[in-house]
Chains A and B, each alone.
Chain A
Amino acid sequence: MRLLADLFLLIGAAFALLSALGLLRMPDTYNRIQAGTKAVTLGALSFILGIGLLYPEWWAKLLVIAGFILFTNPVGSSSIARAIHLAGIQSWQRAASDPQALKAPQEDKSA
């Protein structure tokens, strides 16, 4: 049981790391949100599952936390996306002629 719990905690940490990496590597806000939301949601659920295995008496509260995370995380992401969309910021496009465009985005409005 202890081993399984540690495994889930490790998976959660790995997805949190991936999401942080995604925030660094993605070129604009929309794509950063894409990387951030998904990985953090599953990472947090994995954390909660791991903690639930370590402390089975906490399952009820953990279930409530998981429910709130599942519901509020995408809402928050969509709100940010909607705000920058209404502000008129376009999504980053890969320049067809320049495969190295990623390393030097012409104009990083999202920063």
Chain B
Amino acid sequence: MDNISREPPLTLPHYLFIFATVYLLWLLLVGELSRHELILGGLVSLVVTLVSAPHLLIFGGVKLRIDAPLHLLRYLGYFFVALIRANLDMARRILSPSLPINPSMVAVETGLRSTLGRLMLANSITLTPGTLSVDVKGNRILVHWVDASPGVDLEAATREIAAGFERHLGGFLR
């Protein structure tokens, strides 16, 4: 993986973030908020954080800013609209007798530098209407289009999709 940039080292806020994530996961899995579970979960999360954080350099891509949760919420809203549109679009294609598809491959550049940022962007592209992330090379994501209508500038269309997600992802990921 020589083409992926070095991750920045984790800082103390990142350790706190990983701890909070693990703790939240514990509480969701336990499903109750008794004092017993809160204390035990805290201890387990602390141990897990200390042991696993050196291997979780991918979390270095998270921007810990005060407005990050707002961007995350906006991203989720944007993402779910795209997901539902993708499904209706795919349902229409599958059900129409002529199977209106015309596949093609396009590469798109991304401004997100962290591994986590690119992962999220590639995942988002996979779940949007008519596109599938095939490969990530450096800062280029290879995208498969299910319907490349002749006459449409695919490069521009792909950039537009990526830019829509990047605008929201950039708020909380590097």
Contacts and interface: CB of A to CB of B under 8 A. Distances in A.
Interface of A: 15, 18, 21-22, 25-28, 30-31, 33-35, 37-39, 41-42, 57-58, 60-61, 63-64, 71, 73-75, 77-78, 81-82, 85-86, 91-94, 102
A42 B128 CA distance: 12
Nearest to A36: B90
B101 A38 contact: no
**Binding site secondary structure of chain A:** helix
Interface-centre pick from B27, B94, B99 (highest chain A CB count, 10 A): B94
A39 B87 contact: yes
21 contacts: A15-B87, A18-B90, A18-B94, A26-B99, A34-B132, A34-B144, A37-B127, A38-B87, A39-B94, A58-B31, A60-B27, A60-B31, A61-B29, A73-B127, A75-B123, A77-B132, A78-B123, A81-B135, A81-B144, A82-B134, A85-B135
Given A30-B103, A74-B126, A35 B90 contact: yes
Given A81-B132, A85-B134, A93-B103, A38 B86 contact: yes
B1 interface: no
Contacts of B135: 81-82, 85-86
B39 to A, nearest CB: 18
**Binding site secondary structure of chain B:** helix
- The 10 A-B pairs of least Cβ separation, nearest first, read A74-B126, A74-B123, A91-B103, A60-B28, A22-B94, A60-B31, A81-B134, A42-B87, A38-B86, A78-B133
Interface of B: 25, 27-31, 83-84, 86-87, 90-91, 93-95, 99, 101-105, 119, 122-124, 126-127, 130, 132-135, 142, 144, 146
Contacts of B132: 30, 33-34, 37, 77-78, 81
Given A38-B87, A61-B29, A74-B126, A21 B94 contact: yes
B50 to A, nearest CB: 23
Contacts of A73: 127
A42 to B, nearest CB: 5
A44 B74 CA distance: 22
